[in-house]
Amino acid sequence: MITVALPKGALLGNSIRLLKSVGLDFSAFLDSSNRQLQIYDPTETAKALLVRTHDVPVYVEYGQADLGVVGYDVLREKKPKVAHLVNLNFGKCRMSVAVKESSPYRRTVELPPHGRVASKFVHCAREYFQNLNLPVEIVPLYGSVELGPITGMSEAIVDLVETGKTLRENGLIEIDVLFETSAYLIANPLSYRLNSGGVNELISKVREQVLSAV
């Protein structure tokens, strides 16, 4: 039996629709009255786990799930030992540097050395600034990172941006993009290599479905 780790939140609906298009129905997770965290496909050939987005690659890496759907941003942040298989082309957004609109800084390299940058993507932010050879203090925040510059705690933030509406509503602007991100299908390397439960056939179906939608 194939086990798939599905992410709570913004990627869940598209993930379920994609899997349904290849024969697996986990739509019970979309029922707001459903409190189950593990459900079986009606064919009983697969089951799905509903987990936090950042936990998807953990379940896949440790073998509790054969496959998972997760944003490329999470893969860049956590660097799990999983196989990155298919760019699913949904959940598209970008990892960006943003500052207050009133800030004098309009490019990342203009930020002051040893200034503060707030982010929930600590490793992505640190790697980015190290590559720029710009020493900054990364302040870990896991709530509304926009409050960093608003309160004066940080000069900038590194965060995911989709439309930019939240930034605009809080008086912030993007000044640089680290990378583009979207949802990826990932696999446990051993499951992939051994074709556990016919996982490779499912991967092929997903790949064909994604290509046909392009």
Structure confidence by residue, pLDDT tens digits, 194-206: 998 899 999 999 9
d(CA 60, CA 55): 9
What sign does the CA torsion over 70, 186, 56, 25 have? positive
The pLDDT, as a whole number, for residue 71 is: 97
Fold of 2-91+182-213: D-Maltodextrin-Binding Protein; domain 2 (3.40.190)
Which of 94, 85, 136, 82 is CA-nearest to residue 114?
A: 136
Q: What is the mean predicted confidence (pLDDT) over 114-133? A: 97
For 39-49, the pLDDT digits (tens) are 999 988 899 99
Task: Quote the pLDDT of residue 44.
Answer: 85
Judged by average pLDDT, the poorest of 30-39, 55-64, 146-155 is 30-39
Residue 130 — pLDDT band, cuts 50, 70, 90?
Answer: very high
Work out the percent of the chain whose per-residue pLDDT is above 70.
100
* Architecture of the domain delimited by 93-180: 3-Layer(aba) Sandwich (3.40)
Question: 23-39: per-residue pLDDT in tens?
Answer: 999 999 999 888 899 99
Q: Where in the chain is the domain with CATH 3.40.190.10?
A: 2-91+182-213, 93-180
Task: Name residue, tokens 């991967």.
Answer: 203
Separation CA 49–CA 204 (nearest Å): 21
